[in-house]
Structure 1
């Protein structure tokens, strides 16, 4: 059973998993749409929505918190200048996951995750 498990391990060690989530979050925010597996998309949703919520609050502390996780100045600037005003009236639910087909190589379910 999966009781009291708050995240997916994704077959990675903790440092690799964190690095993958960082890079996927940066890619999602810059491109506003990426294609990945369903499991990774569901896990990525947590990180992306947290970054946008930090952008909506807009303080210096939140900017530094976002930068401490992402370590990418252009992405942090986009969150605070473009995405935060766009989602100012929205209370969460900034991402959408659309299931597509299966990958030919290993038959894993693919999905598109995009910003609403």
Structure 2
């Protein structure tokens, strides 16, 4: 029997190991997370991520490759493949890799085997980046239509302010003009009285 590329085999032979890993991948795509041993989880990760990469391509050849890996003889597996291509792959379209996460959960009670949970990483790349992208998109949408009205709205406000300032200054100027002749009249009045006294 030829030696495997990485580590010991999980089953009796290479065909058994391949079938076991493909069945684990199908279970992972169906349930989004499964509990298995750490060794199986580590061997499952590259198999599952390769199938997700094919699903992200989305063409007919990729679908047939995934069907060859996950035996599509039953309706259950056909449904899993459909779910992989229509639901899981679009959720992971922004992610460049690292579609799975392995979390160790301690040892199994019976044989003390180290156990782990392997799950699909379906959340956004990072919450902060998602919020920043949404904020940038909202700012662009808000800035584009409002850019023109803001300029137009400022111009009338300044004109209104100037006219209000002119209106405020105008009564003061009128009041000053009306006060000035009154003062002149009062000054002329004594002179006229003085001329009248001289004439008498």
Q: TM-score, normalised by structure 1?
A: 0.91
How far 1:7 moved relative to its partner? Answer: 5.5
Question: Is residue 2:99 matched to residue 1:84?
Answer: no
Provide the rounded CA distance (Å) in 2 between the counterparts of 1:20 and 1:42.
Answer: 13
Provide the rounded CA distance (Å) in 2 between the counterparts of 1:52 and 1:66.
Answer: 9
How far 1:47 moved relative to its partner? Answer: 1.0
1:21–1:44: 8 Å Cα contact kept in structure 2?
Answer: yes
Question: Is residue 2:114 matched to residue 1:109?
Answer: yes
Q: Which residue of 1 aligns with 2:25?
A: 25
My pick for the range that moved more, 5-14 or 39-48, is 5-14
Q: Which is helix-richer, 1 or 2?
A: 2
**1:59–1:8 CA distance, 2 compared to 1 (3 A):** farther
| Count, aligned residues | 113
Q: Which is strand-richer, 1 or 2?
A: 1
Q: Which residue of 2 aligns with 1:55?
A: 55
Q: Which residue of 1 aligns with 2:180?
A: none
3-state DSSP of counterpart to 2:106: strand
Q: TM-score, normalised by structure 2?
A: 0.54
Q: CA RMSD in A?
A: 1.5
Gaps of 5+ in 2: 72-76, 122-200
1:36–1:110: 8 Å Cα contact kept in structure 2?
Answer: yes
Q: Structure 1, residues 48-78: CA drift from partner, whole Å, max 9, x if none?
A: 1011100101110000010011022111111
Structure with bigger RCO (C-alpha 8 Å, 6+ apart): 1
Gaps of 5+ in 1: none
